[in-house]
Structure 1
Amino acid sequence: MPFDFQGKHVTVAGLGVSGVPAAKVLHGLGARVTVVNDGDDERARAQAADLEALGVTVRLGDGATLPEGTELIVTAPGWKPDKPLFTAAREAGVPVWGDVELAWRLRRPDSAPWLAVTGTNGKTTTVQMLASILRAAGLRTAAVGNIGVSLLDTVTGEEEYDVLAVELSSYQLHWAPSLRAHSAAVLNLAPDHLDWHGSMEAYAADKGRIYEGNRVACVYNADATAKPSTEDLVRAADVEEGCRAIGFTLGTPGPSQLGVVEGILVDRAFVENRQKNAQELAEVSDVDPPAPHNIANALAAAALARAFGVSAAAVRDGLRAFTPDAHRIAHVADVDGVAYVDDSKATNTHATEASLAAYESIVWIAGGLAKGATFDELVAGAAKRLRGAVLIGADRALIREALARHAPEVPVVDLDRTDTGAMLQAVQEARRLARPGDTVLLAPACASMDMFTNYNQRGDAFAQAVRELGA
């Protein structure tokens, strides 16, 4: 039965990009809404004033206490499950939903089905590729969710869609118990956000929620070596009768898989007589950039599109039309025979491992906030590809020590500065180390907030420094 919000006392936990829309939608549905927020800064006060003008109650600086009479909590995805507010809710028997759960519950009977994507890395690129393929098939679609476009606004808005390409984080999935996608993919699993989830097992379990109730296809990474694997998550999921497990691989695909054969992306899942037949989808050169991890993203997007009935020609045309976002293995320029590539989005070791694997001879610019990460495995795996390394940021010593242990012959420049101007010096030092044919790669393996507002600003600083070299 649909949840009747009329007259219900709903507490929204957190303002920001999800809390404000949730409060407005719930108020419009007739709920008595109270917003609680930990912060009490200028931005929060401005948002509070906007909501209070509508008749919403807002409590700033007090996100720990459960308002009396609360019948439902709708939380921002980043709020940790162990917060006192949720402890009090469990003791009082009050359900807790995330904004994705709310959006799912507010869909109309004729609402567009969801093709959902999660994973430690590659989510945004895959969802954007998927949307491009769906558009190439003539379908009305949008890339929404954790990508920065509100699912709540999408499902309650007036624009009609045939299908949605939905990016979901582990936080969002944790708070979305009712979600049932048409088809879904988990791209990969690597340790991330363990401070929030508490353990790798809990993190993987939340990722695996995306498969629950899938109707047509559970898409998994057949090449994954992590434990639990994405295939393990498929096996554990309770899906609808007839839902299929579809793997993607960078090698030759088996039946019910998509993969690569002699530079061609091929489908042995959504074809007749898949034991013997395969369908060509696109060439590897149609994927921009054609790095291994990005080909994997393209295969996952293609699998979800094919699960929705999209033609092979639309997969090819959609991949050709796709343009990657800035700061995701973006080629900035060639200077004196050296390529300069911005992958500032590589904020953890798993993403950086994929980035380093894309090039043969690299001068690596790395460092920032490690977020508890270790770098031994990353450095050991990439050591043979490294011409040199330039380290910046607060936790650069952790990377320097890993280089000393596993790549002692690689020259290292350690920049003892954390101001934004360090990037220009880093690029200049990288130029000194590089030889024609090399790639200077910004793939920090760390978060950016010690020196920059976000990874976008970090990537912009790198690109500007490269342009100054060229000039």
Structure 2
Amino acid sequence: MSERSSTSSRLDALTSWHADWRGLRVAVLGLSVTGFSVADTMAELGADVLVVAERADPAYERLLPVIGVRSAIGPLSAPPADLVEFAPEVVIASPGFSPTHPVVRWTQESGIPLWGDIELAWRVRDKVVRPGGDPADWVLVTGTNGKTTTTRLAATMMVAGGLRAVPCGNIGTPILDAVRDPSGFDVLVVELSSHQLWYLGLQSSPEPVSPHAAVCLNLADDHLEWHGSFQAYRDAKAHVYDNTRVACVYNKSDTATREMVEQADVIDGARAIGFDLGVPGPSDLGVVDGIVVDRAFLAERHRSALELTTVAELQELGLAAPHVVANILAASALARSLDVPPAAIAAALREFRLDPHRMEVVATVAGVTWVDDSKATNPHAAASSLAAYPGSVWIVGGLLKGVDITSLVSARGPLVKAAIVIGEQRDAVRAAFERHAPDVPLHEVVADETGDVMAQVVDLAIGIVADGDVVLLAPAAASFDQFASYADRGEKFAAAVRDRVGRGADGDTDADPSPPAGA
């Protein structure tokens, strides 16, 4: 048997935490949150681990010797000598490593198996099992926008229904940390990026990832610089439905997600469950006369429906923006697939709060509402924000990630009161406005010597707005050209608003933070 065949046979046998991983030569690409979770897991399993990274989080780098892991930190324009000499039997890449990265290419050209952290997590998911002896069910969530909100919503609903559930994956807690948590879970609600799904699509395990339920919320241009094309991005997202056992949840208003489900290779018996803001058919969730209903997970679904909540209740909770209602429907479908009662879903919604920088009202002063949706890092997300707040003063721009902003400006630009353009790629935004919304007042902010972009933005906006206006930070672009992250961008916006505008007499907002569904 050749060395390559021997390695393949060994990897095929490694489908349990309790398999013999000892001495397996594993190269881990990247040393941030995901990379460290992989290295730590493999070290715990007794593998021989080498971490390869261009740069490293200092805290993680200091921990590597403690857990018995070697590292090679430095330029990666080509595979480093340490990696080649190590001759890994498998390479496990962090999601930041694109298909065109030199080390990823070298791995594939060398015929070395290439995994992501999701593949590894599935193989070792039985470290902690439920009382009956089974590992936690997996529920997978992806989409261009709304992933984190839907993941948190679904996990909150499941917990309210009595399940031990945890949001993990791309949401912040690495899935390997959740798998190894000694307390154990009934359900892992896993947010997956398109990068993680690309790696998942490479899997050749004899026991491939097979979720209880999965959803792709929507699909629009994003991360094209990573994938190389929209088709490649779409194909990566579609892997979320592979081998689904019970429920393939899709967006009826987004044809691409329906086609993904139609083309998916699923386990016999898996159902397609649709959702949108319209009247649902059997096997769908939707809205009827202001009532959010389930017509999918009940025996009499052809003649009746179950009430989950109402748009009026969501309005009171600040959760009635159309795209948030869509996320609630998707999360409810995932929870209902695990028999979470409607009353538990309603109770979870009463306790749920959106994350910061997601349609967050910073202040309402003198009749002007200032809204932070810094998480709108692509045109699809910004379109939802602009639909919720038409006629706003729009703060737009940043790193466009290879995405053309023209269609967004064409559709939404003419409706805004004014636009304030930030970021290093202002030329593309300016050109789109000049062509498709030439009558909209356009202002540009160039970082001055202080670097305080948002102070200039707020000062500009103050000179534009009148009673009843909304100033909306929905950049439709990434933040890394001028800020540390989208959170940093949102925090600096909020700080500038508080500094220059204030919070109002009582420190609270006096405007409805969430327009009703369908607005």
TM-score by length of 2: 0.86
More off after superposition, 80-89 vs 344-353: 80-89
Q: 1:263: which partner in 2?
A: 290
Identical residues among aligned pairs (%):
47
2-structure distance, mates of 1:434, 1:424: 16
- In structure 2, what is the equivalent of residue 167 of structure 1? 191
Query: Structure 1 residues 7 and 427 mapped into 2: Cα distance closer, same or farther (>3 Å)?
Result: same
Number of matched residues? 465
Matched residue type, 1:403: F
Partner of 1:112: 136
> 1:159-308 maps to which residues of 2 (within 5 A)?
159-176=183-200, 177=203, 178-225=208-255, 229-287=256-314, 288-308=318-338
Compute the displacement of 1:49 (Å).
Answer: 4.0
The one-letter amino acid paired with 2:101 is K
Q: CA deviation at 1:384?
A: 4.7
Distance in structure 2 (CA, Å) of the matches to 1:56 and 1:151? 20
Deviates more, 1:413-422 or 1:357-366: 413-422
The yes-or-no answer on 1:140 pairing with 2:164 is: yes
Q: Per-residue displacement from partner, 1:158-207 (whole Å, max 9, x unpaired)?
A: 01212121101111112223321100000011111122212211111111
Which residue type is aligned with residue 169 of structure 1?
A: S
- 8 Å Cα contact 1:289/1:329 also seen in 2: no
- Greater Cα offset, 460-469 or 369-378: 369-378
Separation in 2, partners of 1:198, 1:458: 27
C-alpha deviation, 1:389, in angstroms: 1.3
Partner of 2:26: 10
Judge conservation of contact 1:352–1:444 (CA < 8 Å) in 2.
yes
> Relative to structure 1, is the Cα distance of residues 82 and 383 closer, same or farther in structure 2, using a 3 angstrom cutoff?
closer
1:10-57 C-alpha deviation (Å, 9 max, x unpaired) = 111111111122112211211111111123x6x45x533421243322
> What is the letter of the counterpart of residue 59 of structure 1?
A
SS at match of 1:171: helix
Q: How does 1:71-86 map to 2 (within 5 A)?
A: 71-86=89-104
Cα distance, 1:75 vs. partner? Answer: 1.1
Residue 126 of structure 1, aligned match among 150, 161, 176: 150
User: Is 2:369 the partner of 1:339?
Assistant: yes
Q: Structure 1 149/36 Cα, relative in aligned 2: closer, same or farther at 3 Å?
A: same
Match of 2:352 in 1: 322
Unaligned runs of 5+ in 1: none
Q: Please give the secondary structure, in 2, of the residue aligned with 1:260.
A: strand
Opposite residue 156 of structure 1, the aligned amino acid is: R
CA distance in 2, matches of 1:10, 1:22: 10
**Quick one: distance in 2 between partners of 1:375 and 1:93?**
39
Show CA shifts across 1:287-323 (max 9, x none).
Answer: 4331111111111001101111111111111122110
Q: Does structure 1 conserve the Cα–Cα contact (< 8 Å) formed by 2:225 and 2:401?
A: no
| 2:107 equivalent to 1:94 | no
Answer with 417-426 or 453-462: which moved more. Answer: 417-426
Partner in structure 1 of residue 509 of structure 2? none
Unaligned runs of 5+ in 2: 1-12, 127-132, 504-519
CA RMSD of superposed structures (Å): 1.8
Q: Which moved more, 1:46-55 or 1:436-445?
A: 46-55
- Does the C-alpha gap of structure 1 residues 286 and 164 become closer, same or farther in structure 2, counting only changes over 3 Å? farther
Residue 61 of structure 2 is matched in structure 1 by 48
For 1:266, the aligned partner's letter is V
1:369 Cα deviation (Å)? 1.8
TM norm structure 1: 0.94
For residues 460 and 303 of structure 1, what CA distance do their matches in structure 2 show? 33
CA contact (8 A) 1:365 1:430 kept: no
**Equivalent residues of 1:375, 1:399 under 8 A apart:** yes
Inter-CA distance 57–151: structure 2 relative to 1 (3 Å threshold): same
Deviates more, 1:87-96 or 1:97-106: 87-96
The equivalent residue for 1:356 is 386
